Chains A and B, each alone.
Chain A
Amino acid sequence: MGLFILRRTVVMILTALCLTFIVFFLTNLYPNLEKLAKTQGNFRMSDEAVTSWLTKEGYLQPLPVKYGQWLGVLPGWTLETKDGITGRCVTGAVTPEVAAEAPKFCGILQGDWGYSTVFREEVSGIISTRLGLTGKLMFWVMVLMVPSALIIGVLAGMREGSKTDRTLSTFSIITTATPEYVSGVIFIAVFASSAVGLKWFKGTATSAMEDANFENFFLPVLTISLYGMGYIARMTRASMTEVMTAQYIRTARLKGVKFSNIVLKHALRNALIAPFTVILLQVPWLLNGVVIVETLFNYKGFGWVLVQAAGNNDIELLLAVSVVSVFVVLMTQLISDIGYVYLNPRIRIS
């Protein structure tokens, strides 16, 4: 088990390195840098002005060197200008004495995530506040999605082919066929529109960032949950129907155990092994939903930051966003593997 986790961790770090390098490469292509220079300076910059701005900010160094600096394995760049010394590890132009005292290495290994050019703030600060907001959203999504998906799946799979099964299966197929931007639009139209709708909820969740209540937070949560719910419910149903045909369930029925007892005590534990993995593997998909829903409901969380950073080529913020999301994806894979082994005695013992 220890060796397994160790090997997975090594693969995980390797994957994260490759991915951040790809993001680094794509964001540092020259047209992207040019756009960055023009949004930071002014839009009518000449080509020479762009080049000199990029040189001054250290963007024109070779790619591996820049990547090394970002990681913190190479010393940050410094440049002597007529105003003083500028560099990766100092802000603005400073005197040589101050520059000499500044740390030599400043990458993510030293805990320095860099500076966002869009928000004009430290990246680590932005990421932690926005992640907190998205964490709140995700928490309520999980609270709504997981129990309802499991209940739907178990009820549908309990008696295969019954009327309940047909109804609930149709419901879960419909939810898997509805991407967030469709269901969100329909929900806003029905429940929040000021023209004809029921006006039960609010169409934006901006106010939910400080003070979330049922009225302004339920629609985004419901929108994200629905898309994942159908998939988990179908998996639960499949594994439940399989368990219900097993020999030991038949034995229990022939012994005369009550049907509710069979479902709750005999079938449920075995039926929930497969959905467990599915729920965890859904987390990366939820990340997608979060981006769409946060844009749609104007909830300024992590997904919203992703859109802002990507739309404005904010290199260091984008890298931090991808590190975080890759970390989330790979962690859930790891946990689901370990959990699967732990939950399934057949694998655990052999």
Chain B
Amino acid sequence: MEPLGTFDIIWRIVVQFTPVWIALIVLFAVSIAFKRKLGLYGKLFDSVIGMIGFGLVMFWVFTGVFGQFDLIVTHDSLAQVSGMKNKVPGTPLLMGDEGDYPWYLLGGDNLARDVFSRMVEGAWVVVQIAPLATMFAFMVGITLGLPAGYYGGRLDTFLSFLANLILAFPVILLFYLLVTPEIVATGVPSYMATVLFVFPIVFVGVLLNSRYHTQPHIRLPLLLIVLGIMIWLYLSLISEQGTKVAVLPRFLDLFDIPGGILVVFVSVVFVNSPTVFRIVRGLAMDIKTRDYVAAAQTRGEGPWYIMLWEILPNARGPLIVDFCLRIGYTTILLGTLGFFGLGLPPESPDWGSTINEGRKLLSIYLHPALPPALALLSLVLGLNLLADGLREESLRD
């Protein structure tokens, strides 16, 4: 078979992404049709920048999800095909079986794996970890930042000192200290996970308790059910057979996080939460002087009700914007981890690791390193544009 020309390669890649295009078109059509009823999300479709950003982000989200269902990938991301080592984009397979996709669309890497499929699978790693890790960081930051800003005093001094302590650490040094196999063997990251993952439970528990404090007949069953499920999830998350933290017996353990991912997750949450803490604390200090907070205090509401149901909803604008930016930053951090070969297994298709693999031969072969680099760039750019669009739209009213 003939090698493909540049135009052919582009066309075939576009065709390969068909499910993503369909999903994007459906999503945009529905959202634009109902945009007046969708609140802040709908308003996003009034700004061009916001729409471009949202489009880029959703492109990679759909790519990650569909890639998981084997819709976009052309080859197994780990399969090594003989004769395809470092081959340029568009090279036909030498001896493909029936039913194999007959080309390496973006060429082969130095282990003769398909660059295109690895890039698509890499999107899934980011889509899985980045939003969730950012959410955990927000839970930690909010649960600690609200009381620090609201009460002030000793508590504030102590928590701020801790936050500044973590922030003064160079991120890469912290990663090297936390993510090496020796440290993982001692269980330090598992213990950190045990502590950090308590925060969502505390957050939801306090949130519901303060809201339904006056209606005991709703509060008790609600808290029991919600906290019961969350604690079960929490225990399954942290307990893993064969590590230092194995509290649940196997039949109760719902899922195991594959090796390395939990450690990466913990360190990313750990690095992000102090910044969120500082933002929330600043917002809380600002908002607690407002009249409606004084009104709630006069009504005799508890401090946690005021923090979570008066201050937090009014701080949502800046927090949503920062959430988008922070997902982008988390993506960059994940890439950094991959770039230094920390945490994730070496054959993992995530973008950072692939860039690291590709850079070693960069002066001769460009094609293995460039696609993941451009993918990461476009995703982070999309998140930044989305944040910009949201900021503009939320400032408008």
Contacts and interface: CB of A to CB of B under 8 A. Distances in A.
Nearest to B341: A311
B363 A192 contact: yes
Contact of B177 (A173, A176, A197, A310): A310
A189 B381 contact: no
A341 interface: no
Interface string A278-292: 000000100110011
Interface stretch (A30-38, A115-123, A255-263): A30-38
A328 B254 CA distance: 46
Given A15-B168, A19-B165, A188-B362, A177 B384 contact: yes
Nearest to A35: B182
Contacts of B167: 284, 329
A6 interface: no
Nearest to A33: B182
Contacts of A284: 167-168, 170
A29 B183 contact: yes
Interface in A144-171: none
Contact of B359 (A31, A185, A322): A185
Interface stretch (B28-36, B285-293, B332-340): B332-340
A185 B373 CA distance: 7
A59 interface: no
Interface residues of B, number: 47
Contacts of B178: 26
Nearest to A16: B168
B164 A15 contact: yes
B222 to A, nearest CB: 40
A179 B340 contact: no
B352 A181 contact: yes
A182 B377 contact: yes
Interface string B355-379: 1101100111110011001101100
Which range holds the interface residue count of chain A?
A: 35 or more
A34 B358 CA distance: 33
B121 interface: no
Interface string A40-67: 0000000000000000000000000000
A30 B370 CA distance: 40
Contacts of A194: 363-364
Interface in B161-192: 161, 164-165, 167-173, 176-178, 180, 182-183, 185-186, 188
A188 B363 contact: yes
Contact of A287 (B170, B358, B359): B170
A192 B363 CA distance: 7
Nearest to A27: B177
B182 A195 contact: no
Given A185-B359, A292-B336, A18 B370 contact: no
B274 interface: no
Contacts, number: 141
B180 to A, nearest CB: 8
Main secondary structure of the interface of A (DSSP, over half): helix
A311 B358 CA distance: 21
Contact of B388 (A29, A173, A321): A173
B376 A182 contact: yes
Nearest to B366: A189
A232 B48 CA distance: 24
B335 A203 contact: no
Given A31-B183, A185-B373, A311-B176, A193 B168 contact: no
B50 interface: no
A78 interface: no
Given A19-B165, A179-B376, A189-B370, A296 B359 contact: yes
Nearest to A327: B168
A19 B370 contact: no
A326 B385 CA distance: 33
Interface string A304-327: 001100110100001001100110
Interface string A3-40: 00000000100110011000100110111101100000
Nearest to B370: A189
B182 A185 contact: no
B160 to A, nearest CB: 10
A264 interface: no
B122 interface: no
B90 interface: no
A178 interface: yes
B380 interface: yes
Contact of B384 (A15, A19, A34, A176): A176
A178 B358 CA distance: 17
Given A178-B377, A185-B373, A189-B366, A173 B385 contact: yes
A102 interface: no
Contacts of A192: 363
Given A176-B384, A310-B177, A325-B170, A195 B332 contact: no
B351 to A, nearest CB: 9
Interface string B146-170: 0000000000000001001101111
A284 B332 CA distance: 16
Contacts of B349: none
B278 to A, nearest CB: 12
A319 to B, nearest CB: 11
Given A31-B185, A181-B355, 12 more contacts: A14-B161, A15-B165, A173-B385, A177-B381, A179-B380, A181-B339, A188-B363, A197-B366, A306-B170, A307-B172, A307-B176, A307-B340
8 closest cross-chain pairs (CB), A and B? A310-B176, A31-B182, A177-B381, A177-B380, A182-B373, A179-B332, A26-B177, A329-B168
9 contacts: A15-B168, A29-B188, A35-B182, A179-B335, A287-B170, A288-B171, A292-B172, A313-B182, A326-B169
Interface of A: 11, 14-15, 18-19, 23, 26-27, 29-32, 34-35, 173-174, 176-179, 181-182, 185-186, 188-189, 192-197, 203, 284, 287-288, 291-292, 295-296, 306-307, 310-311, 313, 318, 321-322, 325-326, 329-330
Interface of B: 161, 164-165, 167-173, 176-178, 180, 182-183, 185-186, 188, 328, 332, 335-336, 339-340, 352, 355-356, 358-359, 362-366, 369-370, 373-374, 376-377, 380-381, 383-385, 388
